[in-house]
A and B are shown apart, each in its own frame.
Chain A
Amino acid sequence: MSALLDVRNVETFYGPIMAIAGVSLAVNAGQIVTVLGANGAGKSTLLKTISGAIDCRKGQVLFEDKEIQNRDPDVVAARGIGHVPEGRDVFPFMTVEENLLIGAYGRGDRDAVKRDFETVYQYFPDLKTKKHDRAGFLSGGQQQMLAIGRAFMGRPRLMLLDEPSLGLAPLLTQTIFQIIRRINGEQGVAVLLVEQNAHAALEVAEHGFIMEVGRIVMDAPSPELMASDDVKEFYLGQSSEGIRGERRWKKRKTWR
């Protein structure tokens, strides 16, 4: 069986700067896969390349066996990919309800859309009580819920989540990750989850990729990654940023 999403050897540039250099990865239908990496590793760029927000210079992105690289993002979204961007990016001046309605833009099945509103409110009861509030006034956690709900309203078969735990308290992160897992299990939506929070991500994901300066340097099933010394040291460890950065530099050679 071929993968739902198949990224093959993709290279993406910002002007002359190569942000991702020959990345390949696959996500199967119904699977949760995570990409871990430090700030600036190229995780967001990878997701943007998949969803068509940035063109790649080389390589292919296949979704359900069809090439989607370098299409406009609205076209890619219509194919069944829902991108939950970094930093939530909700429509701040619109109400929660309007944000969700926009998420369902391009869908003709009105009755199903109505049911999906209820589904989203079930997953995120906070959103229901705030449905007439402007999204800009929500807390960070609620905005993250709204961004996920908005993507869900498009009924994607694959969700791209860009650091949903960013800036959230551990408890809230846990809640949101549990719901990601529920959406995956109950709705059959595959998830490509990009994270710096390796603990939380490896707990929900089946498989993990580790990205460093634009390359995938390691990939394995989550339990294996959690047990790996390198991952323990650099991604699950308690060490401070500075020490981590130095050590990574030394250790990187062993991975390549």
Chain B
Amino acid sequence: METSDVIQLALIGISQGCGYALVAIGFVFIYRATEIINFAHGELMMLGAFMVLTFAQIWGLNFWLSACLGILSLGVFGYLLDAVVMRRIVGESQAIIFILTVAIALMLRSLAGIIWGWSPRSLDVPFMQDVQIGGIVLGMDRIAIILGTILLCALLYWFFSRTRTGLAIQASSQSQLAAYYSRIPVKRLISVVWAIAAMVAAVAGLMMAPVTQVDTGMSAFGIKAFAGAVVGGFGSIPGALLGCLLIGLAEPFLDFFFPAFKGVYAYIIMLVVLFIRPEGLIPQTFAKKV
């Protein structure tokens, strides 16, 4: 294996990890605000990609406009998903909530299949061309994922630590009752958290589309993102980022050297980490912000 191959694989791995990370931080946001683990999060990512595809390739709108519309539409969808469905089951047992989110996942996948068909579609994005740096060819689509993730994380960090609404969401996640007593409209803000999480998932869907294609199978991404969040220490944002990057980075190398278990390394890593360090790499208690 040559240096350039290592760099290629690393780039693929890191960008894949970034994609997982965007999905993972979405459900960590939701988990921290509501203690709901949303197993339909990969489906939200898939839906985001399909929406952008609809605006760009079916309606023929400009790509960037379609991207914005696609992300916004997922924001509305996430908000309504909470306001209309999830808010009603507050206080139900974890088992009921689990089954409900899984049911929503299955319904969304079927719905997507019915609307957009079951075969993969490709989404043409303006960042497809490869770049050559020092004799190594790098996929622009991969680089875009990494840059996009860094930008989005910075934006989210700013939002949660500097804006009034962001701080209020943090407060609601740390103590819902005390937040209520402080005049924070907790219910509405929880819906806003769902909206943000869905929009971040849509960005992941949009950015992963060029490398995975858009189809209903895309939602499986959510399970690997979940594995990444568990590896990092479920409930912690830095943990989710680290866990997802680790899994993303390890996957292509393990697939390359030991192809026997191709595709399931994310879960193997999760099991190994759970055996050695069940609380994850960065447990929630040490992750103070966001």
A contacts, CB < 8 Å to B: 51-53, 72-74, 77-78, 82-83, 85, 89-94, 98, 101-103, 105-106, 134, 150-151, 154
Q: Are A83 and B181 in contact (CB under 8 A)?
A: yes
Interface size on B, residues (CB 8 A): 20
Contact of A150 among B174, B177, B182, B288 (CB under 8 A): B182
Kindly list chain A residues whose C-beta atoms are within 8 Å of the C-beta of B180. 52-53, 72-74, 77
Most chain A CB inside 10 Å of its own CB: which residue of B179, B181, B186: B181
Q: When chains A and B are docked, how far (Å) is the Cα of A98 from the Cα of B164?
A: 10
Beyond A73-B181, A93-B289, list 16 extra A-B contacts (CB 8 Å). Answer: A53-B180, A74-B183, A83-B181, A85-B178, A85-B181, A89-B175, A91-B174, A91-B179, A94-B171, A101-B167, A102-B168, A103-B182, A105-B171, A106-B182, A106-B183, A134-B288
- Interface flags for B166-206 (1: CB within 8 Å of A; 0: not) read 01101100110111111111110000000000000000000
Q: Are B178 and A90 in contact (CB under 8 A)?
A: yes
Contact of A72 among B167, B171, B187 (CB under 8 A): B187
Q: When chains A and B are docked, how far (Å) is the Cα of A89 from the Cα of B170?
A: 14
Pairs A–B under 8 Å by Cβ, sample size 9: A52-B180, A53-B181, A73-B181, A85-B177, A89-B177, A89-B178, A90-B178, A102-B182, A134-B288
B contacts, CB < 8 Å to A: 164, 167-168, 170-171, 174-175, 177-187, 288-289
Kindly list chain A residues whose C-beta atoms are within 8 Å of the C-beta of B167. 94, 98, 101-102
Q: In angstroms, how far is the closest chain A Cβ from the Cβ of B175?
A: 5
Most chain B CB inside 10 Å of its own CB: which residue of A51, A53, A92, A93: A93
Contact of A74 among B174, B175, B184 (CB under 8 A): B184
Q: In angstroms, how far is the closest chain B Cβ from the Cβ of A145?
A: 15
